[in-house]
Structure 1
Amino acid sequence: MAGWMEVVTTAFLLQLLALPGEKGQFVIAGLSTRYNPYWVVAGAATAFGGWTVVEILLGEALKNALPEAYLDAITAGLFVAFAGLILYSLHRGNDGADTTNRGRPRSNGGDAEGHDGAEAPDDEGVFEQAGGYLTAFSVMGVAEFGDKTQLVTISLAVQYGAHPGIWVGEMLAIIPVSLLTALVFHRGSRRFDSGWFHYAAVVVFLLFAADIVSGYVFGFSVLPI
């Protein structure tokens, strides 16, 4: 049986090489422009971790567990749905800002620290950010099927068997890279005009949905990933 460090190191390096350009990282980037990046990474990591366990235990049999066309259809639908949710949140946010600006006086006698007794926005509330966790978990749970990262896990399981070092090595690669991606896009969307980042996220989700449909309608992928 291969040594622990050998398996962990091999899994870490192979997964690290497979991550660049993976659609999962684009999904994390897009969701992080809307939600707290730590919740997004937590949801994505939960899906990653769960899939990795299943892949290690079942190996190649996983690919025959569900028809790939069904999983692709679900994935495309989720991408379109999340693009729609981002557009809706932008529209709702703009309407809310207009209403507030029209209906609230410039000064309401708040204290010296700027507290006016008004209820704080719920964008960073527990329920709002729990939505970020659930959104990331649901889309990554389906979108990961058939990706390079999953194929790496299956190939490692074929080589080393159900070795826990595979899971450890892959998570050591996936979580830091995902967190870096999420933080970069989250902070970038706050520093610059967040509307453009949100619209970019919408475009990314719709492109992935179109790519899946193109594979079935035209027989080829339109994206190089």
Structure 2
Amino acid sequence: MITAFLVSFGVIFVAELGDKSQLMAMTFALRYRWWVVVLGITIATTAVHAVSVGLGHFLGLSIPGDLMSIVGGLAMLVFGFWTLRGDSLDDDESVKAERVSKSILLAVVGSFFLAELGDKTMLATITLATDHNWAGVWIGSTIGMVAADGLAIAVGALLGRRLPEKAIAYGAAVLFFVFAVWLTAEGLVTANNFVVTIFTITAIAIIVSGGTWYVRSHREHARLEAERAERGRIADEQAPAERSLTTAAD
């Protein structure tokens, strides 16, 4: 159980670095008491990870351990590229974080619960629970996420509420790639099967090529969106001056 706790704490802590949940935590903490935000995160995380651990434990009983180790390694590789992509809050999430007025605790719980459904921290918890003690994974993953979000709130306050998001994303991605190599190698050694090895190498090649393309296309899209937003801002600033010149000419 201790091993499951430590591994889960480390993996989920890393998975949460630069995640949208951290951005939501910081946004909530800008307007509301930090302990209310942390309590809400704890409640939501406990619930989401309970579901994740249940799913992972069921899968672990159904699939051989060596294959689950390989699948876990491939999942960590995917999470690494997911982290490199970067994360941001969409309009709905930003509104939820900035305009909550009633039942703050319930709003934080609801926002984080919905944000974590299908997120990489939930998927990582499911992966961990397939091959580790369920209680250790549940406790470790919950504390890991709360610690990461709490750290974001504290560091954000100290650094003027701005985090070095790119540096955090790169560091977290590297750690995910290390976890991927570790788990995949462990599974391949245990399986000692030529077919499994070929399948794993093929899957790695597909994930790396697809992940590289995905990260590049996402960044290109983000760059184009930023340029479009900048042009819109400049146009909005110039519009009053142009109207004034037109009025003066008339």
Tell me the TM-score normalised to structure 1 length: 0.52
d(CA) in 2 for partners of 1:179, 1:220: 28
Letter of the 2:152 counterpart? T
What are the superposed Cα offsets for residues 174-193 of structure 1, whole Å, 9 maximum, x if unpaired? 2222222223445667xxxx
Instruction: Name the structure 2 match of 1:5.
Output: 2
d(CA) in 1 for partners of 2:91, 2:50: 25
Identity of aligned residues (%): 24
Q: Superposed, which structure 2 residues align to 1:76-155 within 5 Å?
A: 78-82=92-96, 85=99, 130-131=103-104, 133-155=105-127
Higher relative contact order (CA 8 A, sep 6+): 1
Instruction: Name the structure 2 match of 1:171.
Output: 142
d(CA) in 1 for partners of 2:94, 2:28: 13
Query: Is 1:59–1:154's contact at 8 Å kept on the other side of the alignment?
Result: yes
Letter of the 1:177 counterpart? A
Letter of the 2:50 counterpart? V
Instruction: Name the structure 1 match of 2:204.
Output: none
Query: Is 1:59–1:158's contact at 8 Å kept on the other side of the alignment?
Result: yes
Query: Which of residues 39, 44, 61 in structure 2 aligns to 1:42?
Result: 39
Query: Is 2:28–2:98's contact at 8 Å kept on the other side of the alignment?
Result: no
What are the superposed Cα offsets for residues 25-74 of structure 1, whole Å, 9 maximum, x if unpaired? 11001110011011001101111111000111123999xxxxxxxxxxxx
When residues 179 and 11 of structure 1 are mapped into structure 2, their CA distance, relative to the original with a 3 A threshold, is same
When residues 136 and 165 of structure 1 are mapped into structure 2, their CA distance, relative to the original with a 3 A threshold, is same
d(CA) in 1 for partners of 2:139, 2:151: 19
Return 5+ residue gaps in structure 1 as ranges: 63-74, 87-126, 190-196, 201-218
Tell me the TM-score normalised to structure 2 length: 0.47
When residues 83 and 158 of structure 1 are mapped into structure 2, their CA distance, relative to the original with a 3 A threshold, is closer
From the CA coordinates, give the structure whose radius of gyration is larger: 2
d(CA) in 1 for partners of 2:54, 2:23: 27
When residues 14 and 21 of structure 1 are mapped into structure 2, their CA distance, relative to the original with a 3 A threshold, is same
